[in-house]
């Protein structure tokens, strides 16, 4: 008897997909997403969101992704300066963050 190996479909959500969905949601509630392109400052969070008198930073990760040591260091520097910085790996958590920011 020959056994067939069935490959499991890769159902991992990509970081770029999470980021895109979060940015679209942010726009609908009045936050502007700004892509942080910092070639001379590696490890800086992916996006800054601003609007309604609020500013916060987000590092996007896949559901199983973790920040690098350099990213963790950059996040700590921003937090030391009293900025809110979040690591987001799903849209539901991002919506909660936005809700919190709006209530601050």
CATH number for 87? 3.40.1350.10
Indicate the number of domains in the chain. Answer: 1
49 within a domain of the structure (yes/no): yes
**Can you read off the two tokens belonging to residue 11?**
């159902």
Q: Mean of the pLDDT values across residues 7-17?
A: 70
Q: Are 46 and 27 in contact (CB under 8 A)?
A: no
Query: Residue 37 — pLDDT band, cuts 50, 70, 90?
Result: confident
Domain residues for the domain of 51 are 15-103
Q: Are 48 and 38 in contact (CB under 8 A)?
A: no
Between 25 and 8, residue with greater pLDDT: 25
97 within a domain of the structure (yes/no): yes
What is the rounded CA–CA span in Å between residue 104 and residue 102? 6
Between 4 and 72, residue with greater pLDDT: 72
- 95 phi and psi angles, rounded to 5 deg: -60, -40
2 within a domain of the structure (yes/no): no
CA atoms within 13 A on the CB side of 43: 13
Structure confidence by residue, pLDDT tens digits, 38-62: 788 889 999 999 999 999 999 999 9
């Amino acid at each position: 008897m020959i056994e067939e190996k069935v490959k499991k479909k890769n159902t991992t959500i990509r970081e770029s997909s999470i980021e895109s969905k979060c940015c679209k949601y942010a726009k609908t509630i009045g936050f502007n997403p700004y892509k942080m392109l910092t070639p001379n400052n590696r490890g800086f969070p992916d996006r800054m969101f601003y609007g309604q008198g609020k500013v916060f930073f987000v590092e996007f990760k896949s559901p199983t992704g973790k920040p690098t040591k350099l990213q963790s260091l950059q996040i700590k520097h921003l937090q030391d300066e009293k900025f809110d910085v979040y690591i987001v790996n799903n849209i539901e958590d991002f919506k909660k963050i936005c809700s919190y920011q709006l209530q601050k």
